[in-house]
């Protein structure tokens, strides 16, 4: 059991830290196209923008930080963490910021 924890914990920390980078970049691009440029109006468009942003971002994160595991495994793990963070945190954060800006600045 101890060996399993010793092997899993570094992978979890690696995935969460790199997944957070992917999440922040994806959310900022979605905010740019959704709120600032007003290109994406529906949730489907915003999710597509997030996914298309996460693909090259994940590749660049793997190239920059490197890994001992295979490329495909690392890609899947980092995309999974990025998508989980985007779904669990990003939806709520985006709607709260959007609602606060609607109050201060006005509706779209």
pLDDT value, residue 108: 56
Look up tokens 């709260």; give the residue. 96
Distance, in Å, from the CA atom of 73 to the CA atom of 56, rounded to the nearest integer, reads 16
Cα–Cα nearest to 16, from 68, 94, 89: 89
Q: For the whole prediction, is pTM greater than 0.85?
A: no
**pLDDT tens digits, residue range 85-105?**
988 888 888 778 878 877 877
Q: What is the pLDDT of residue 98?
A: 76
pLDDT tens per residue, range 6-65: 777 887 888 888 889 999 999 899 888 987 888 888 889 988 999 999 999 999 998 888
Going by C-alpha positions, the residue among 107, 93, 82, 105 that lies closest to residue 31 is 93
Whole-number pLDDT of residue 101: 76
Question: Which token pair is 69?
Answer: 């595991």
- How many domains does the structure of the chain reveal? 1
In which domain, by residue range, is 66 found?
A: 2-104
Which pair of tokens denotes residue 34?
């959704």
Q: Say what the pLDDT of residue 107 is.
A: 65
Contact 101, 36 (CB under 8 A): no
Length of the chain: 108
């Amino acid at each position: 059991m101890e060996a399993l924890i010793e092997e899993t914990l570094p992978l979890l920390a690696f995935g969460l830290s790199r997944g957070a980078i992917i999440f922040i970049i994806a959310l900022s691009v979605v905010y740019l196209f959704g709120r600032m440029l007003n290109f994406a109006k529906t949730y489907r468009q915003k999710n597509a923008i997030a996914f298309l942003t996460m693909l090259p971002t994940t590749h660049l994160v793997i190239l920059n930080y490197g890994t001992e595991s295979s490329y495909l495994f690392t890609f899947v793990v980092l995309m999974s963490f990025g998508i989980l963070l985007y779904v669990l945190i990003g939806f709520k954060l985006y709607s709260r910021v959007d609602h606060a800006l609607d109050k201060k600045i006005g509706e779209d």
